[in-house]
Every structure is written in C-alpha cells, then in structure tokens.
Chain A
Amino acid sequence: MLMVSACARRPEPLSAAVVNDRSVVFPGESEAEAITVGQPGVSYSLDGDVLRALVIVANDLFPPGTRAASCPKRMEAQTYRVVRKGDVIFVFIEENLAACGRRFPAMDSGAKYAIGADGRILRRVVDGLDEDDANWFAVTPGDGGSPSEADAGSSPQRVWMSDGGTEGLVPGQSLAPVVAPNPRRSADAGSP
C-alpha cells in the first residue's frame, strides 16, 4: 500500500491532451444575457455533453483532489460560461470576484476551452500562457469583417506594423490623445 502511495503521481493541471485545432474559432458573446444556473427554487437540466465538457475543463484547470492555497485560483471561485455551437461546446472561465470578496480582478485571470463532440479538447487558451488570436488582429480600413471572419486563420502577421515615426519616443510613453471612457464600460453602466 505504501508502495502504491509513493508511486502515485501528483495530479497536474493543464495536463489533458489538446488537439489545438486552430480552425476552431471561439464565438463572440451571445446577444442574450447568459442564464445563471443555480438560482433558488428554479430547476435546470444539463445534458451529458455539457456536463462532460464542464468536467473536462474543471479537471484540467483544477485537478481532482487538489485545492489552491489562494482563493481566486480555486474551482469554486470562477464563473463558467457555456456556449454550444454545432458540435462544439465552448467554455469561458473567468474569475468570480464575489466568490473571494474581491473588488478587482487579477491580471490574466481567465481561460477558455473548446470541447468536441467526442470529448476531446479542441482548443485551450489560458491567459498568460497561450496566444489568443481573437484578441489581436488588425483589419484594414473598410474591411469590416466580423470578429469570427477576421479571426479565422489570423496570425500575428496580420498585426499592423510600424517602423516610422517612433524616433525619440521613450519606452512607456503614450502617443494618442485621451479618449472617452471605454465604450464597453459605458455600455455596461447603462444596461439594466
């Protein structure tokens, strides 16, 4: 028994195999507000595929039998947003500030997964570790492509590069004039 115990491998996070299918594009937000599961007095049904996707994600980020020392890095301190598109189940994980009584998020406090119909992890993007194509692409003026169109097959080469006009700048210096607050935040403030 001792032998078995001594040889048992410590569960490691991020150890699940990933197909890394770059053709899988994470969808944008749905127009509709996400439904929060678990409200008192309301029953919900979750099909097996969705549950399996959540289990795969949770086990990969937070291996069973482990518990992070700090609250924000625990399984129960995240929100899990699920979007199904065709055969793929997308899971977006983000820090739930209220869970640990925090007012501000941490840097790199998110992750997202795409789980295929066979339960394989098609794509995994963990903040701070994996490049997120969707978060960095430049479109040429007039392109007007939707995020998913612009994202498909995008690569860092699509980023607009500049060589000129930077002489005399100091690292950390800002170039542009101050603009209105981020419209995303304004929109948030105005929503019901």
Chain B
Amino acid sequence: MKNFGPFNSYADALNAACPLILSKPNATVVHLQDSSPDVARRAATEYCAWLYYTPSELYEMSMLADQSGPGDFVSGMRSCSLPPFVDDPRYSAEQLKHIFALHNHPFGTRLSANDLRFIESMAEVHDWEVMTRNGKVRLSIIAFFSKSQDPAAPTCDGFYQYVPATREMMLWTRQNGQWKLDVHGIVTWINERTYRLEPQ
C-alpha cells in the first residue's frame, strides 16, 4: 500500500496500521452508539488488509480490501472479504509471508466465530509461523477498535488477536502511549459457531 511503511518491525507496522484503518469512513461508530444507534449500525463499515513480510525483510500492508461498496449497504451483512493472497507486483505470491489479517470492528466488539473461521481457513494456505528479522511470527487475525467520541480524530485504543497455531485469544489495549496485554486465553470450540475462552 502506498504511503504505508515499509517497516522494520511488525509492532511498528501494527502501530501504523491501526490508526490508518480506523481513520477510514465509519470504521468506528461508537460516537453514534448512544445518540443514533440505528444510523451507527447501518453506517458501520469494515476494512481489511494483510500485513505481510517481503523478501526485502520489511513489513508492508496490502491495499485495503474492497469492503462494502456503495452497492453493498443494502445488505445487513458487514463482512469484509480479504483475498487469500496479496497481489504485490514486485514479488511472486510464494515470496510473500502473510502474517496478520487486519480489520476493524466499528463498535469495538470482540472477534466473531467467523473471524476465527476465516483465519483458520487461511492457515490451510499460509504458514502458521514464519521466520522474520524479528524472530518467529505467527499467522493471526486482528480486529482494531477505537473508543473515540470524536469521529474526526479516532484514536487507536486496542485490538483483539487470535492465533490459530496456538488457539490464543488476546486483547491488547493502548494506554498512555503504551501497549498492554489485557486478556489472554485459549480458545476451545463448543460447536462450529461458538467458542469458549479458557484462562491460561
């Protein structure tokens, strides 16, 4: 993606990706949650992209996937279709290491069962764990959120992360410029559509 990085560390890339995605139109609607909940639900928009590692040993972000276009707002589904492979004309598909499937949750909700279903399906075509200049990094899905009441300047307040290789669920929050791991547990599936978080 133009005007994004590249970055030497995935943490820096995440720090940059979070506010960028949340700054897109209606990527966060918590400011409308109380005053206009119906408007908030209909306007809420998800954006998604891959964070990937290149042969140049740098972290980059793909173009934001074609989220709900104007013709899709007639549907109540708020899904985001992320192509399984990044199309970066500088490299062949096999040269790119897909690391984080990024998206936003406009209300700051937790990862859905279908989010987990998505990244587990990606684990069938991408390595669960790749070696980078920063050591091993595991494939995961991330949902950014903001708690900002100011739509003009949404803050990046945290993200949920799920790692299929370990079945870990994590919640990272940002406080006073520092990241903090708030929740850590292991996912077990109750059935195809319900998971449970076990403390670890």
Shortest Cβ distance from B188 into chain A, in angstroms? 8
Q: With a CB–CB cut-off of 8 A, which chain B residues contact A169?
A: 179, 181
Q: With a CB–CB cut-off of 8 A, which chain A residues contact B128?
A: 178
Q: With a CB–CB cut-off of 8 A, which chain B residues contact A8?
A: none
Structural contact, A138 and B198, CB atoms closer than 8 A: yes
Chain B residues 114 to 128 lying within 8 A of chain A, measured CB to CB, are: 114-115, 117-118, 120-122, 128
Structural contact, B181 and A130, CB atoms closer than 8 A: no
A120 at the interface (CB under 8 A from B): no
Structural contact, B166 and A105, CB atoms closer than 8 A: no
Known: A13-B76, A160-B197. A94 touches B114 (CB 8 A): yes
B57 at the interface (CB under 8 A from A): no
1/0 per position for A159-185, CB-CB distance to B under 8 A?
A: 111100010011111111111001111
- Please report whether the interface of chain A is mostly helix, strand, loop or mixed according to DSSP: loop
Shortest Cβ distance from A177 into chain B, in angstroms? 7
Structural contact, A107 and B166, CB atoms closer than 8 A: no
A56 at the interface (CB under 8 A from B): no
Structural contact, B121 and A62, CB atoms closer than 8 A: no
Q: A127 is contacted by which of B114, B121, B197 (Cβ under 8 Å)?
A: B114
A44 at the interface (CB under 8 A from B): no
- Please report whether the interface of chain B is mostly helix, strand, loop or mixed according to DSSP: mixed
Bound: A170/B129 CA distance, A: 16
A12 at the interface (CB under 8 A from B): yes
Structural contact, B168 and A174, CB atoms closer than 8 A: yes
Q: With a CB–CB cut-off of 8 A, which chain A residues contact B101?
A: 107
Known: A69-B71, A162-B184. A104 touches B166 (CB 8 A): no
Q: With a CB–CB cut-off of 8 A, which chain B residues contact A108?
A: 46, 77-80, 103, 105, 112, 114-115
Structural contact, A105 and B117, CB atoms closer than 8 A: yes
Structural contact, A178 and B183, CB atoms closer than 8 A: no
Determine, out of B89-97, B134-142, B147-155, the stretch whose residues face the partner at the interface: B134-142
The 5 closest A-B CB pairs, nearest first, are A69-B71, A13-B76, A160-B199, A66-B74, A29-B191
Q: What are 21 sample pairs from A and B whose C-beta atoms fall under 8 A apart? A: A13-B42, A13-B74, A28-B191, A61-B75, A70-B72, A73-B68, A105-B121, A108-B114, A110-B112, A110-B193, A128-B79, A132-B113, A135-B112, A137-B196, A150-B196, A166-B184, A169-B179, A174-B166, A175-B184, A178-B138, A182-B189
Binding site for A on B (CB under 8 A): 9-11, 14-15, 38, 41-42, 44, 46, 48, 66, 68-82, 84, 100-101, 103, 105-107, 109-115, 117-118, 120-122, 128-129, 137-138, 140-142, 159, 161, 163-170, 172, 179-186, 189-200
